[in-house]
Amino acid sequence: MKGKLITLEGIDGSGKSTITGRLKSNPVFYEFVFTREPTTGWIGEAVNRAIHSDTDDLAELLLFTADHAEHISKLIIPALKSGKNVISDRYSGSRYAYQGMTLKNRFADPMKWIQDIHKNWTVDPDLTILFDIEPGIAVERCGNRGDKTKFEKISFLEGVRANYLRLARENPERFVIIDTHRSVDEIEADVISTIFSLLR
Ligand code: ADP
């Protein structure tokens, strides 16, 4: 594919949306396509309903995965084929890390099981920027968020963070870990230079 796919991953409160907002308003990124998962389409809305209700964890994973399939075929592949660079705020890594936790009592190695059901149809990112942060600090930053989901508990997020770090260890060629215990300006500068070293 002609364009590059860059994904931003990390636990809730790690600063992904803040940085995405900064990049969107930076003229250097005007030609980029910005997207996110869950998407804003009807399957993404179904995912949001699942997140905010007592939906079975496997059903929830499959909804997220359906949303990913729709995202891949309708937006990601056409954009990359037309030569656009794409930045996605959350992508397949979120499923591996989060549902790797929610399904930990259902499968021996849920993260591997989830990666296996993505094989042969997902598009792997060229670069994944992992926003790494202590869950306690992330939850504090989200303190005033009115729409807390079941994913935002500290002990749960410790497991998600460990899953993300495992993904980074297993895919060192495409993962870059950014320490987000710093100022937004410093993080933004690191993210921009990481993206431009991929495109150079
Ligand atoms: P995410 O999209 O990863 O869930 P957000 O970008 O929504 O995270 O950030 C969560 C909260 O933390 C927001 O209130 C945001 O203003 C604040 N925040 C983001 N980055 C930083 C930072 N580097 N230092 C302090 N607060 C931050």
Predicted local distance difference test score (pLDDT) of residue 200: 85
Q: Ligand 1: distance of its center to the CA of 51 in Å?
A: 20
Predicted local distance difference test score (pLDDT) of residue 111: 97
Instruction: Calculate the CA 44 to chain-centre distance.
Output: 14
Class of domain 5-36+85-199: alpha beta
The full set of domain ranges for the chain reads 5-36+85-199
Predicted local distance difference test score (pLDDT) of residue 12: 94
Of 5, 4, 25, give the one whose Cα is nearest residue 184.
25
Residue 6 · residue 124 · CB < 8 Å: no
Q: Ligand 1: distance of its center to the CA of 125 in Å?
A: 23
Most ligand 1 atoms within 8 A of CB, residue of 11, 16, 137, 141 to mutate: 141
Query: The whole model's pTM is what?
Result: 0.95
For the chain, which residues score pLDDT lower than 70?
144-150, 152
Residue 151 · residue 53 · CB < 8 Å: no
How far is it, in rounded angstroms, from Cα 41 to Cα 29? 24
Predicted local distance difference test score (pLDDT) of residue 144: 64
Predicted local distance difference test score (pLDDT) of residue 146: 58
How far is it, in rounded angstroms, from Cα 163 to Cα 100? 7
Residue 164 · residue 12 · CB < 8 Å: no
Looking at the DSSP assignment, which residues form a beta bridge with residue 132? Answer: 179
Predicted local distance difference test score (pLDDT) of residue 1: 76
Ligand 1 atom closest to the Cα of residue 144 is 14
Ligand 1 atom closest to the Cα of residue 14 is 3
